[in-house]
């Protein structure tokens, strides 16, 4: 076996490991969310607890070959009004135009491989924050991790914003004290609804192109971001899901969701990339709220 | 008076005439829609008939000067769930980047003037089509008219699609037999929700850069498009607004509205232009549905 074989084999192992982790994380998240469905005692407790349903899809590559695919897990429950947890592992060739924008894609002649998990939860209760989380591993002639999570309360509780950020900061600080301030700022910049000059939510972290030179450590960090999410979000849901809410609070939630939809459709890179490159629109648009208002 | 003065004066007169027409058309449309509110006998007839409310806004120019402004007329009625009729007359300077995309804007050093009317109506009844209409007059170093209208039924009635198109065709044919086929196709191409490979509605006409060399005739045509709208749309509303609808039909309407919001936020040139160039987001996004679902 020569060194090229070894390098290629190493990369294949990394792809397999990363994909396996995204599936594992998906399973842990779905279990945690179904447990919350079981534990509800407040509004909607007369309904059956929700359960995830899975739907797989295949991605036609741009040259007509099958380019991998994914599995959408979606639950329409009694706590979670609509939550999608998508995993996908796809490969293919970027257009001449698009490859200029992606690190290492000109050198790979546009060839790419990508695997990731993407999650958006819209809750029945306006007192429970909505959330987004995703992590991914991308390979062109380079390879890197990216991802993040941001919290979207309808009514901010400052101590909880702090609690959410503290968990993310602790995760980041295990790896590099520079990560949290950098990734927090990136998140704040990214999730700005520019036309309203208004943030989408109360932030979190956002990172991309993470390749420190130590793959295992970067992978550990990416896994820990997933674990941090699993630690903090179900706790916030459990804390508020049994509280009663008013019609006025629900109305405000629907208006905030309209703004959330504006952000995703006008600015979100993943959404626009997915729609413009022939991604599965059902999976790409799973982030959109079940109900929204622009009164 | 030399010929430059005469040309400048002629252009100013045209601007004044065009703006005055858009205001006149706005008044006629608002009157027709309020009359429909008065005439309702079906669902919601126990509520007060809706009336338009007006709100004016000023546009800061990109160099800080005031660059004109507009008036939003909005009605949340018992037939019209939400209808916005915006008129605006603005001027300013396009960015170096943007002027490359606009005819005559490099020659005008980016200077532009624009006046127009833009209307979107979302109806309570899923049996009454939603509609969009706009017409505008733009001046750079060139000048032209643009606009159009497209019908968005939740349940298409083919004879009514035909009726709508017949009125538009008759209007077009008064001017040029080539207009209708060309503008119908432009509309079909434009109002395609590409990621679903699905048209937004049942079409209509869409025209832009109309400068035949005979300004008065082009202006007459633009006015007649407004009059055609005033002829056909209130007739369609009156025909269906007193019919009863079901919860299932309402649910389908909310889903179709979600797709409508996707089109406007992802593809619509006017919406994206308005948001990206610091337009008044309240006026730009008046087209968004009062309520929508992505279940």
Tens digits of per-residue pLDDT, A238-262? 999 999 999 999 999 999 999 999 9
Closest CB from A194, A265, A295 relative to B266: A265
Average confidence (pLDDT) over A144-148: 97
Closest CB from B194, B275, B291 relative to A195: B275
B75: nearest CA in chain A?
A295
Q: In this structure, are residues A263 and A287 in contact, taking their beta carbons and an 8 Å threshold?
A: no
Is residue A150 predicted with pLDDT exceeding 80?
Answer: yes
Whether residues B292 and A291 touch (CB distance < 8 A) is answered with: yes
Mutant choice from B266, B269, B278, B282 vs A, greatest count of A C-beta within 10 A? B266
Is residue A119 predicted with pLDDT exceeding 60?
Answer: yes
Residue written as tokens 């198109």?
Answer: B165
Residue B169 has a pLDDT of 98
Residue B17 has a pLDDT of 97
Q: How many A×B Cβ pairs under 8 Å? A: 66
Quote the CA–CA distance of B132 and B28 in Å, as a whole number.
Answer: 16
Q: In this structure, are residues A50 and A78 in contact, taking their beta carbons and an 8 Å threshold?
A: yes
Closest CB from A194, A281, A291 relative to B195: A281
Catalytic pick among A122, A124, A132, A165: A132
Query: What is the DSSP annotation of B135-190?
Result: EEEEESSSEEEEEEEEEE-SS--HHHHHHHHHHHHHHHHTT-TTHHHHHHHHHHHH
Distances (CA, A) of A205 to A113, A149, A165, A177, B181: 24, 6, 8, 14, 52
Q: What residues of A are in contact with residue B295 (Cβ under 8 Å)?
A: 76, 82, 290
Place A290 in a pLDDT band, splitting at 50, 70 and 90.
very high
Q: Which H helix or E strand runs over B260?
A: helix B247-266
What's this model's pTM, rounded to 2 decimal places?
A: 0.93
A262: nearest CA in chain B?
B265
ipTM surpassing 0.95: no
Mean pLDDT by 10 residues, chain B (295 residues): 76 97 98 98 97 91 69 97 95 84 90 94 98 96 97 98 98 98 98 95 97 97 98 98 98 98 93 78 94 98
Q: Three-state SS across B36-104?
A: HHHHCCCCCCCCCCCCCEEEEEEEECCCCCEEEEEEEEEECCCCEEEEEEEEEEEEEECCHHHHCCCCC
Q: What residues of B are in contact with residue A262 (Cβ under 8 Å)?
A: 265, 285
Contact with chain A for residue B255, Cβ under 8 A: no
Q: In this structure, are residues B133 and B84 in contact, taking their beta carbons and an 8 Å threshold?
A: no
Residue A42 has a pLDDT of 96
Percent of all residues in chain A with a pLDDT value above 70, rounded to a whole number = 96
Of B82, B78, B72, B33, the closest CA to residue B235 belongs to: B33
Catalytic pick among B132, B165, B195, B240: B132
Q: What residues of A are in contact with residue B261 (Cβ under 8 Å)?
A: 261, 265, 292, 294
Residue A280 has a pLDDT of 85
Residue A124 a catalytic site member: no
- The CATH T-level fold of domain B3-287 is oxygen-dependent coproporphyrinogen oxidase (3.40.1500)
Structure tokens at B179: 């207009």
Contact with chain B for residue A53, Cβ under 8 A: no
- pLDDT tens-digit profile of A52-106? 999 999 877 655 556 888 999 999 999 999 999 999 998 888 888 888 888 999 9
Average confidence (pLDDT) over A8-25: 96
B282: nearest CA in chain A?
A196
Contact with chain B for residue A64, Cβ under 8 A: no
């Amino acid at each position: 076996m020569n060194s090229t074989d070894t390098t290629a084999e190493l990369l294949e192992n990394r792809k397999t490991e990363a994909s396996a982790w995204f599936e594992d994380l998906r399973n842990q998240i779905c279990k945690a969310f179904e447990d919350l469905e079981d534990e509800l005692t407040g509004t909607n407790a007369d309904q059956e607890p929700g359960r995830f349903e899975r739907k797989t899809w295949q991605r036609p590559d741009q040259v007509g070959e099958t380019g991998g695919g994914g599995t959408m897990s979606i639950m329409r429950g009694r706590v979670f009004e609509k939550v999608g947890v998508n995993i996908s592992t796809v490969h293919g060739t970027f257009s001449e135009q698009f490859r200029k924008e992606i690190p290492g894609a000109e050198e790979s002649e546009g060839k790419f491989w990508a695997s990731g998990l993407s999650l958006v939860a819209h809750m029945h209760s306006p007192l429970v924050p909505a959330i987004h989380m995703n992590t991914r591993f991308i390979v062109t002639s380079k390879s890197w991790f990216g991802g993040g999570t941001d919290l979207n309360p309808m009514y901010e509780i400052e101590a909880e914003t702090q609690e959410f950020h503290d968990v993310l900061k602790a995760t980041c600080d295990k790896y590099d004290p520079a990560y949290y301030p950098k990734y927090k700022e990136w998140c704040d910049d990214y999730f700005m609804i520019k036309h309203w000059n208004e943030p989408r939510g109360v932030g979190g972290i956002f990172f991309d192109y993470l390749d420190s030179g130590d793959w295992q450590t970067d992978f550990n960090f990416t896994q820990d971001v997933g674990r941090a999410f699993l630690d903090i979000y179900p706790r916030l849901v459990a804390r508020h899901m049994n509280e009663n809410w008013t019609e006025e609070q629900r109305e405000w939630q629907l208006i905030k969701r309209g703004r959330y939809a504006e952000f995703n459709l006008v600015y979100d890179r993943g959404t626009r990339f997915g729609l413009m490159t022939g991604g599965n629109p059902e999976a790409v648009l799973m982030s959109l709220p079940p109900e929204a208002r622009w009164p």
